[in-house]
Chain A
């Protein structure tokens, strides 16, 4: 009897985790470049001595959905969106290299190119430093061109190239800081075929309708598990009543 209670309890608990993963997708429906996680459940068998009744459930969210978000035109020169596959390399707070699809670039007071959240954007040769410029343009292959302050329209200077990589998506995991990294932790090689579009941002790829449907499904599933738990409870009560000495 209590086996039933525990099996149902893990079901309810893991459904709640799946709901949190799903809610995180919904909360990030407007985060540029966000990639949704798909929570899925698998069996975690735990064999007892009598018969095979205990298959506990375990939820995992490792699957990151890398399908594309929509392109949003912003008209700002320093907004970039990666067209097709590929990722932009940035330096994480711990100094390691991480990858992202977010592309709202900024130039800070020291001339260093950063993402909207302050992380340093990496070029082929490390952090990108931009001299005082009248305008900054980013080409389709990530080449950063500037027109220096007071420079003639034809006096353009190519500064650096954004470090764009394209490792296989099954090698990528999401780290605790939200950046993607390779499973083995090594930096990915630069890929010359990644294309970026300037003046655009990529929206998150969360499908709101899909997430809301999933939310309902998980709720009903949770209710079923709770029902099982209360049934187990009732069975125990009946046992006690029938067998108890009163």
Chain B
């Protein structure tokens, strides 16, 4: 079938994907610890209709060829792991990572999930859990009678118990790092899974081995920049329009041939 039609169709597809990525970024502009995505495009393979450089006679070569590109494709929708802004919340269970690293979360199926969302809560058994109830790993149980909770930069959780002078140490939060965070698989609920592309999780103490420190009573906002996304949206829309115009033009060319020939 007509090449021009199919090339324009790939353009529409790609812009549609980019629009979904932009909308998802905008929808998550207030999601704690959210990392924005970006659609990466590449041109599809080229189809040689006339080989450039072929011999036209024994002594001469064709100076030019005809290579028709077959369009564009979305090669990745990668996550950009730039630091989001830190906001003070004064909530003693909130923590943010300033720098590299992820909190480790035990998922219901026993797998380990990773998140930058530090809005933790305490469940009925005193466990530190994410807002969706999945517990932080290594697990920490906060005693019922605890009066205040403190979390140090390197992740040591201490509580003040009634009648005691010294705070009691409950455990230390360990964070995980990946050589290629962009290879992590986002699964929703602010969680990521390890993949072959991300590399194995390297667990360590916050603040050591290049991992970021923990900031207590603060949350990391999403790293989406609204102005940037709106510009992306305008660009996407205009490209979509141009491709849709190309599609209808290719169609009208065939239509013209159909209506005017062989009657």
Q: Which residues of A contact B (CB under 8 A)?
A: 12, 16-17, 19-24, 26-32, 34, 37, 39, 58-63, 74-76, 102, 104, 106-111, 116-118, 132-134, 147-151, 173-178, 183, 208, 211-212, 215-216, 219, 222-223, 226-227, 229-230, 233
Which 7 A-B pairs give the minimum distances between C-beta atoms? Answer: A27-B11, A24-B69, A109-B199, A62-B64, A149-B210, A60-B64, A134-B210
- Residues on B with beta carbons closer than 8 Å to the beta carbon of A37: 67, 69
Q: Check if B68 sits within 8 Å of A223, measured CB to CB.
A: no
CB pairs A–B below 8 angstroms (16 shown): A26-B11, A27-B7, A37-B67, A61-B68, A107-B179, A107-B180, A116-B75, A132-B202, A134-B210, A174-B46, A183-B53, A215-B245, A215-B246, A222-B257, A223-B253, A230-B261
The docked-state distance in angstroms from the alpha carbon of A30 to that of B238 is 10
> Would B68 and A109 count as touching, CB distance under 8 A?
no
Do residues B67 and A176 form an inter-chain contact, with CB atoms below 8 A?
A: yes
* Docked CA distance A23–B49 (Å): 16
* The one of B45, B65, B196, B256 that contacts A177, using a Cβ cutoff of 8 Å: B45
Contact B68–A20 (Cβ < 8 Å): yes
Residue of chain B at shortest CB distance from A40: B64
A208 to B263, CA, bound (A): 37
Q: Are A61 and B66 in contact (CB under 8 A)?
A: yes
| Structural contact, A116 and B42, CB atoms closer than 8 A | yes
Known: A20-B3, A134-B100. 8 other contacts (CB 8 A): A23-B250, A24-B7, A106-B78, A108-B179, A116-B42, A147-B210, A176-B45, A215-B246
Least Cβ–Cβ distance between A152 and chain B, in angstroms: 11
CA distance A74 to B223 in the complex (A): 12
Which listed residue, B43, B66, B70, B243, touches A59 by the CB 8 Å rule?
Answer: B66
Q: Does B91 contact A (CB under 8 A)?
A: no
| Residues of chain A with a CB closer than 8 A to B18's CB | 30
The answer, among B76, B99, B202, for a CB contact under 8 Å with A116, is B76
Known interface pairs A23-B7, A27-B7; A215-B210 also in contact (CB < 8 Å): no
| Cα separation A102 to B8 with both chains bound (whole Å) | 22
Whether the pair B40, A208 counts as a contact (CB closer than 8 A) is no
Cross-chain contact B245 with A29 (CB below 8 angstroms):
no
Query: Interface digits, B220-263 against A, CB 8 Å rule (1 contact, 0 not)?
Result: 00000000000000011011001101100110110011001111
The interface residues of chain A lying within 8 Å CB-to-CB of B260 are: 226-227, 229-230
Chain B residues close to A by CB (< 8 Å): 2-4, 7-8, 10-11, 14-15, 18, 38, 40-50, 52-53, 63-72, 75-76, 78, 80, 82, 99-100, 177, 179-180, 182-183, 196-200, 202, 208-210, 235-236, 238-239, 242-243, 245-246, 249-250, 252-253, 256-257, 260-263
> Do B2 and A16 touch (CB < 8 A)?
yes
What residues of A have a CB within 8 angstroms of the CB of B235 in the complex? 30
Please report the C-alpha to C-alpha distance between residue A223 and residue B82 in the assembled complex, in whole angstroms: 52
Query: How far apart are B102's CB and chain A's nearest CB, in angstroms?
Result: 15
Question: Closest residue to A14 on the B side, CB-wise?
Answer: B66
A216 vs B246: C-alpha distance when bound (angstroms) = 9
What's the least CB distance linking A104 to chain B, in Å?
A: 6
> Chain B contacts of A104 at CB under 8 A?
40, 78
Q: Using Cβ atoms and an 8 Å threshold, which residues of chain A touch B210?
A: 132-134, 147-151
Residues of B within 8 A of A106 (CB): 78, 180, 182
Chain B residues near A117: list those with CB within 8 A: 40, 42, 75-76
Q: A16-B3, A102-B42, A227-B260 are in contact. Are A24 and B239 (CB under 8 A)?
A: no
Q: How far is the CA of A132 from the CA of B65 in the complex (A)?
A: 46
Kindly name the residue among B202, B208, B242 whose own CB sees the greatest number of chain A CB atoms within 10 A.
B242
Min C-beta distance of A219 to chain B, whole Å: 5
Cα–Cα distance between A134 and B177 once the two chains are bound (Å): 10
B75: nearest chain-A partner, CB-CB: A117
Please indicate the chain A residues that have their CB under 8 angstroms from the CB of B202 in the complex. Answer: 132
How far in angstroms is the closest Cβ of chain A from B49? 7
Say yes or no: B236 contacts A17, CB within 8 Å: no
Q: Known: A27-B243, A178-B44. Is A149-B8 also a contact (CB below 8 A)?
A: no
In contact, A109 and B64 (Cβ under 8 angstroms)? no
Contacts of B99 in A (CB 8 A): 134
Distance, CA A229 to CA B183, complexed state (A): 56
Contact B257 A31 (CB under 8 A): no
Quote the shortest CB–CB distance from A96 to chain B (angstroms): 15
Is there contact, CB below 8 Å, between A27 and B8? Answer: yes
A93–chain B nearest beta-carbon distance, Å:
11
A23 and B100 contact, Cβ closer than 8 Å, known pairs A28-B43, A28-B69: no
| Chain B residue at smallest Cβ distance from A35 | B43
